[in-house]
Structure 1
Amino acid sequence: MTYDYERRIAELAVQRACLLTKKVFHEKAKGELAKDDKSPVTKGDFGAQALIIQAITKNFPNDEIVAEEESSELRQDAALRSEIWDLVKDIKLNDAASDEILGGSLGNEEAMLAVIDQGNSLGGAKGRIWALDPIDGTKGFLRGVDGDVKVGVIGCPNLPIDDSESLTAGIGSQQSDEEGKGVLFSTVQGEGAVSRPLTSAGLAPSKSISMRPVPDVSQAVFCEGVEAAHSNQDDNAAVAKRLGITAPSVRLDSQAKYCSIARGAGDIYLRLPMKKEYQEKIWDHAAGDLLVREAGGQVTDIYGKRLDFTQGRTLKNNKGVVAAPAKLQDQVIDAVQAVLNLK
């Protein structure tokens, strides 16, 4: 079975959602958001989720959807609801045929809320399930069958188009919409991984991406999350030191870290647990997991187990995430386990 149509819908839906993200970014940059406004991230999350779920339900009406947001906050906050509707209602691709495939206009505010709430699936090990992560300028989007991820698409408006451009330590705080930025990554199980420039219309030509060879782990580029609350940065630093990595870590939001190592701009991504009881959400990892593995890498938890997406909305059978080139994975896991006193 091929997933060409699923992939195309996902790519177009993510590309359209990234137009909304850029619109929010420009409002923020121009100071058009009032001090008492909800954060631009919140607006982008709700708006992108509405646009993407609309595309899924139009094209795959019987599929389930696992998404982070639900509409109760918006139903209680008329001002925020109106602001998000103003963002969403006019978002369209500059390609009428592609926009029509995705569903055109959402209609009205109430229809938008109803669409957002269609992301309430509990997930699990059976059936066709989509999961999406509309967060902070990066759209993770995937299609899974019986808990096995088949299609993954991620849009990164702030990453450089050039796959070979090295990551700088401060890239996570240098958000911009300048020329030469904005990338759409996609993958289908067994078919490799590709990147293409984001556009405001149809899909641009793609090219194959792969992780770069790293003969000496001490020369690897190390990626981690921006938020210290999401991953133990002290432990991450100790792992890097144990591996002999002296370059400063590159901190990026969301699944941009998976994209960066999949294209060879980085090499290792760690998300080490902050709390024993914390369970990672499937939408934060599934698309990136498949992208890295199809680009020649490995993704496991801190015990070396593959990430298990069959357990509902969380990775309850896993602790932490370790992603690296396949030849380095065991070496990185050994260092992680030594730092965490798991041996």
Structure 2
Amino acid sequence: MAYIKEKQVAIEAALKAAAFCIDVQNELIATDTLEKGDKSPVTIADFGAQALVCQHLRTVFPNDIIVGEENASSLQLPENLPLLEKITAFTQRFVPEANNERVCEWIDLGNGEVNKERFWTLDPIDGTKGFLRREQYAIAIALIENGDPKVGVLACPMLPVDYDDPKRGVGCLFVAVRGEGALMASLNSHRLQLKPIHLVDGRDPKRLRCAESIEHGDHELQKKVIKEAGLHADSLKLDSQAKYGVVARGDAALYLRLPSPTQPDYREKIWDHAAGVLLVEEAGGKASDMLGQRLQFASDQTMKHNQGVVVSTPVYHRAVIDALRYFLA
């Protein structure tokens, strides 16, 4: 077994960040947000989760580079001191020695540069709008070596354990190590019990469906492609890399994300996909961009050589790529 220590440390970091996010969500005040440059809301959970994950990773792996989504520059503005103090207060529940200065330092540990050797990539809250809606979001952590995801962990605090049986509760942890399969555990069990997960069974027609983003993508083209590929059940609509989780465990057969017509040159970020791609591949699936090319995680923070994302079973992946070639011809 490879990456034993990395796997355990990533799980610990994700669990700590998930607990942090749950606390913040339960006590959230709507005004406790900043504005990113792209106008997406950022909550105190974004900053605090990044601080906790970076602090945990760097404590165990002091020489590893971390490429995260957030930086602390906005928090250090005088007008944002009350927000920083709230982040610190929540962080102290998990790391008692935290103070304002250390929290900013921990956040900025995630300002490393992508390289072709080894680095971690982190999205402290993938699906911020889902978080604010009390719907789907994920803490996403991945270890990249030589451009290939080797360890991936997704904590999805609001994801039903079974999408079609809400009575089983919510909160899932997904874990994958290259070459060792995909695993899932309930976040609500007294003892974490990771069990193997697999892609959809083709004999279950209600799960032969697509998982799509609520807002992002070209939904009109996606609808045509999904139908042409032979998936006729209604799509699941949810935020974040939780979509990778539902594909990996067989709640859906496809995750399709095509560039929006309003942003045709948009390129995905590595932290939005690295952990999820590994999870689905280890469950037996296939991931690529909309042209069928392998997703690249070591060229930049932005996946500038890829456009769109197609994640599915091998059979439906081929059908989707064929359908895209037909519609884009």
TM class by smaller structure: 0.7 to 0.9
Secondary structure of 1:46 counterpart: helix
- The aligned counterpart of 1:105 is 96
Instruction: Tell me whether 1:90 sits opposite 2:93 in the alignment.
Output: yes
Q: Once superposed, what is the RMSD of the aligned Cα atoms?
A: 2.2
Secondary structure of 2:33 counterpart: coil
Structure 1 residue runs without a partner (length 5+): 92-103, 169-177
Deviation at 1:124, TM superposition (A): 2.5
1:132-147 alignment runs, 5 A limit:
132-135=122-125, 136=128, 137-147=137-147
- The aligned counterpart of 1:49 is 50
- The aligned counterpart of 1:166 is 164
Of 237, 246, 260, the residue aligned with 1:260 is 246
Q: For the structure 1 residues 204 and 216, does the alpha-carbon distance in structure 2 shift closer, same or farther, using more than 3 Å as the test?
A: closer
Q: For the structure 1 residues 234 and 13, does the alpha-carbon distance in structure 2 shift closer, same or farther, using more than 3 Å as the test?
A: same
The residue identity in structure 1 corresponding to 2:236 is V
Aligned residues: 309
Instruction: Work out the percentage of aligned pairs sharing the same amino acid.
Output: 40
Q: Is the contact made by 1:280 and 1:320 (CA closer than 8 Å) also made in structure 2?
A: yes
Deviation at 1:219, TM superposition (A): 6.5
Secondary structure of 2:43 counterpart: helix
Instruction: Tell me whether 1:116 sits opposite 2:107 in the alignment.
Output: yes
Q: For the structure 1 residues 297 and 79, does the alpha-carbon distance in structure 2 shift closer, same or farther, using more than 3 Å as the test?
A: same
- The aligned counterpart of 1:75 is 76
Secondary structure of 1:120 counterpart: coil
Of 265, 279, 282, the residue aligned with 1:294 is 282
C-alpha separation in 1, matches of 2:89 and 2:189: 19
C-alpha separation in 2, matches of 1:159 and 1:36: 25
Q: For the structure 1 residues 106 and 67, does the alpha-carbon distance in structure 2 shift closer, same or farther, using more than 3 Å as the test?
A: farther
The residue identity in structure 2 corresponding to 1:266 is A
Q: Is the contact made by 2:211 and 2:252 (CA closer than 8 Å) also made in structure 1?
A: yes
C-alpha separation in 1, matches of 2:217 and 2:82: 34
The residue identity in structure 1 corresponding to 2:2 is T
1:1-343 alignment runs, 5 A limit:
2-28=2-28, 33=29, 35-38=30-33, 41-76=42-77, 77-91=80-94, 104-126=95-117, 128-135=118-125, 136=128, 137-162=137-162, 165-166=163-164, 180-199=169-188, 204-214=192-202, 220-227=208-215, 230-274=216-260, 275-339=263-327, 341=328, 343=329
Q: Is the contact made by 2:176 and 2:282 (CA closer than 8 Å) also made in structure 1?
A: yes
The residue identity in structure 2 corresponding to 1:88 is T
The residue identity in structure 1 corresponding to 2:192 is A
C-alpha separation in 2, matches of 1:295 and 1:321: 17
C-alpha separation in 1, matches of 2:296 and 2:27: 39
Render the CA deviation track for 1:175-204: whole Å, top value 9, x for unaligned. Answer: xxx972111100000000000111598x61
- Is the deviation greater in 216-225 or in 261-270? 216-225
C-alpha separation in 1, matches of 2:259 and 2:42: 24
Secondary structure of 2:325 counterpart: helix
Deviation at 1:85, TM superposition (A): 1.4
C-alpha separation in 2, matches of 1:210 and 1:218: 16
C-alpha separation in 1, matches of 2:65 and 2:269: 16
Secondary structure of 1:155 counterpart: strand
Deviation at 1:8, TM superposition (A): 0.4
Q: For the structure 1 residues 167 and 305, does the alpha-carbon distance in structure 2 shift closer, same or farther, using more than 3 Å as the test?
A: farther
Structure 2 residue runs without a partner (length 5+): 35-40, 129-136
Deviation at 1:12, TM superposition (A): 1.0
Secondary structure of 1:302 counterpart: coil
Deviation at 1:232, TM superposition (A): 1.4
C-alpha separation in 1, matches of 2:185 and 2:148: 25
C-alpha separation in 1, matches of 2:229 and 2:316: 11
Secondary structure of 2:96 counterpart: coil
The residue identity in structure 1 corresponding to 2:234 is P
Render the CA deviation track for 1:81-105: whole Å, top value 9, x for unaligned. Answer: 11211221113xxxxxxxxxxxx43
C-alpha separation in 2, matches of 1:269 and 1:196: 21
C-alpha separation in 2, matches of 1:219 and 1:85: 43
